[in-house]
Structure 1
Amino acid sequence: MFGKLKEKLKNWVSKNKEEEIVETVPTTTNKKSKSVSKPKKISPKKESKKKVAIEEPKAKEEPIITPKKSIFSKFQKTLTQEKFDNLFQELQIILLQNNVAYETVEAIEASLSKPLVGKPMKKVNLATELKTAIESLLINPPNFINQIKSSDSKPYIILFAGINGSGKTTTIAKVAHYLQKNKLSVCLAAADTFRAAAIQQLEEHAQKLNVPLIKKDYGADPAAVGFDAIKYAKKNKIDVVLIDTAGRMQNSDTLMKEIEKIARVTKPDMKIFLGESITGNDATLQAKAFNDSIGLTGIILSKADIDEKGGTALSVSHVTNKPILFLGTGQDYKDLEIFDKEKLIEKLGL
């Protein structure tokens, strides 16, 4: 992640970094040329003694040191708003080209402008300020396991939502595996009753992971499937229920109302949006729509291992004001990376 964005940001910072270069410029000193005076004729008539005035040598002039013009010379002594706008224009293009949403770009601009505009250029550290601006966009995620174990909810219910083809079912299996590794029992709910192979796919994962699966026939009420899974978990003292739902486009009113109904019936403790890291602004728009609809708790981004741009992670967290919980980094159950804000910033190389 961040391969291309990292390179572009480093180039931008390097290009606009002030370098104070001082060179010595000696001034020209006018030295009087030595002249040979002709001997005066001595008058035989009268000798007269005259006082000869001795001229004291002039003090040697010190060389004047003047600063050499740096690449920031166009900014003179301070960075005005107009000059900042010109500086940021190039950065804006870099961010947009690397899947950072326009709304997020505007937030970065506002965050950068405050500490830079009106400040002496020699005190400006672009890399530090840019890093701070990007850090402010990302919400620190809670400790996923501690949050579940410390909750009074028994079982702890997690609802997954997203569009078609984002890897939701596989990600649910990864989360189930992660919970098992942390000594938590899991039950799966096959509430995607519309996709032809959805129930079968989740059933295969349940068998591999050796966890119970609650399902109904295709076309059944998905909210009822979730309700039955919770009932089963309570009876069997299972710690966590993971509810799979059908993929749906955020602009489908009917399907969005359906996910709202599932949320009302199951009353999940956590509502997770699953999006693809490589889809850029589309994932941001989708996450925003789902957040407006059901009120998300967190986000998981799949295919982060093949995302060279990285802007989606910045944008989705900023636009929804929700933390990224995990990054999907492959197809195996173990390929689920806990999101670490600091590590993500380190990958930018600032």
Structure 2
Amino acid sequence: MFKFLKEKIESWTKKIKEKAEEKEPEKEEKKTKKVIKVKLEKEEISIEKPKSFFQKIGEKINTIKISEKEFGIYEEELEMLLLENNVALEVAEKIAGDLKEKIIEKEFLKKEIESEIKEAFKEIIREILVSPPNLIGQIKEKNSDQSKEPYIILFCGINGSGKTTTIAKIAENLKSNDISCVIAAADTFRAASIEQIKEHGNRIGVKVISHEYGSDPAAVGFDAIKYAQKNFINCVLIDTAGRMHTQKNLLKEMEKIVKVCKPDKKIFVGESITGNDAIEQVKSFDWAIGIDGIVLTKADIDEKGGTALSVGYVTKKPILYLGTGQEYDKIEPFDKEKFIKKLGL
């Protein structure tokens, strides 16, 4: 996972280190000449002053400064390698700009320069990623008051992003956390979509509420909410038809579903491997209905990692889960520190 971006960051960091070290022999030569000169002067006047404690320490510490010129040689290369690995342009520019600010003209121990640059990368990425809320905790908090409505989650995204399977995975995850749920088969457009979500429901033991194909998706969601209220079910998961982010009329339909069902969370589901396409998609859905979080599927086969790095920063919305396989348990809550570690930082 994220192998390519990890390798590129590692390679770039080493280049900066090597560039900074190129000037070191020249410095050492100058330093030696100065010492010889002093010794000659000392011999001439026959005075030998003992070195102070701080002078001795200073000679042992070998420091390096990275100049703006040295950083500039590789700044464009850094931005390009980020763009090649699906990092959005504005995010690539921010990383390069922030890194420049953190390391230019700062003194580093020669032996620690590589680790210091990686630490700077780590801090920047930590700032870029949006911390996800505890979804399980939020659902349980709402359910603690029996007079309240069930927690409602609406899922949206384009065709083929793995939305229906993701809903089944989240339903299974909720069950394992003692949260009961019901699924609304509100994708009444795609052929076999209702049968597909029902099959998932049967496998994981979750009730699916459905209508006929072509019926109003908002009505399906509404009926699922009423079922949950009547049967004291904690959470309603609403599936919707996949639609391209450029289909304005279908995005308008989403607005109606939101108005009728009043979801607590609106979650966009996209593929981690689609790069900047996923970023444009999530921006369109966010503009239309105001999403609250993101699930990225196929993260297990994403060798680049740029989508996960960019999508939250661009929308200022958190990644909630990463899909990591086909099985129902192959979904994991997004963890900033774990993500940073996978990048080799």
TM-score class normalised by the smaller sequence: 0.7 to 0.9
Report sequence identity in percent: 55
Deviations 1:112-138 (A, max 9, x none): 233334545769732221211111110
Deviations 1:6-59 (A, max 9, x none): 111011111112445646746599x9xxxxxxxxxxxxxxxxxxxxxxxx9775
Match of 2:173 in 1: 178
Match of 2:67 among 79, 83, 99: 79
1-side partners of 2:154 and 2:44: how far apart? 92
Q: Contact 1:79–1:120 (CA<8 Å) still a contact in 2? A: no
Match of 1:100 in 2: 87
Q: Contact 1:299–1:326 (CA<8 Å) still a contact in 2? A: yes
Q: Contact 1:324–1:339 (CA<8 Å) still a contact in 2? A: yes
How many angstroms does 1:146 deviate by? Answer: 0.5
Q: How many residues align?
A: 316
DSSP 3-state at the match of 2:322: strand
Match of 1:165 among 138, 160, 163: 160
Deviations 1:76-108 (A, max 9, x none): x6633x654433111111101111011211221
Match of 1:8 in 2: 8
1:291 and 2:286 matched: yes
TM-score scaled to structure 2, two decimals?
A: 0.84
1-side partners of 2:214 and 2:287: how far apart? 26
Letter of the 1:240 counterpart: C
2-side partners of 1:57 and 1:181: how far apart? 85
1:329 and 2:320 matched: no
Match of 2:188 in 1: 193
Mapping of 1:330-349 within 5 angstroms? 330-349=325-344
2-side partners of 1:305 and 1:243: how far apart? 25
Match of 1:112 in 2: 99
Which runs of 5 or more structure 1 residues have no equivalent in the other structure?
Answer: 32-55
- Seen in structure 2, the aligned counterparts of structure 1 residues 116 and 58 have a Cα distance that, compared at 3 Å, is closer
DSSP 3-state at the match of 1:159: strand
Deviations 1:210-240 (A, max 9, x none): 2111101000010111011101110111000
DSSP 3-state at the match of 1:227: helix
Letter of the 2:286 counterpart: N
Q: Contact 1:79–1:121 (CA<8 Å) still a contact in 2? A: no
Report which of the two has the higher share of helix.
2
Deviations 1:140-167 (A, max 9, x none): 1111211110126521000000000000
- Seen in structure 2, the aligned counterparts of structure 1 residues 28 and 335 have a Cα distance that, compared at 3 Å, is same
Match of 2:151 among 152, 156, 160: 156
1-side partners of 2:136 and 2:108: how far apart? 46
Which runs of 5 or more structure 2 residues have no equivalent in the other structure?
Answer: 50-58
Match of 1:258 in 2: 253
Q: Contact 1:138–1:341 (CA<8 Å) still a contact in 2? A: yes
2-side partners of 1:328 and 1:237: how far apart? 29
Match of 1:137 in 2: 128
Q: Which has the larger radius of gyration?
A: 1
Match of 2:137 among 140, 146, 153: 146
2-side partners of 1:303 and 1:277: how far apart? 6
How many angstroms does 1:194 deviate by? Answer: 0.4
Match of 1:274 in 2: 269
2-side partners of 1:2 and 1:132: how far apart? 18
Which sits farther off after the overlay, 115-124 or 195-204? 115-124
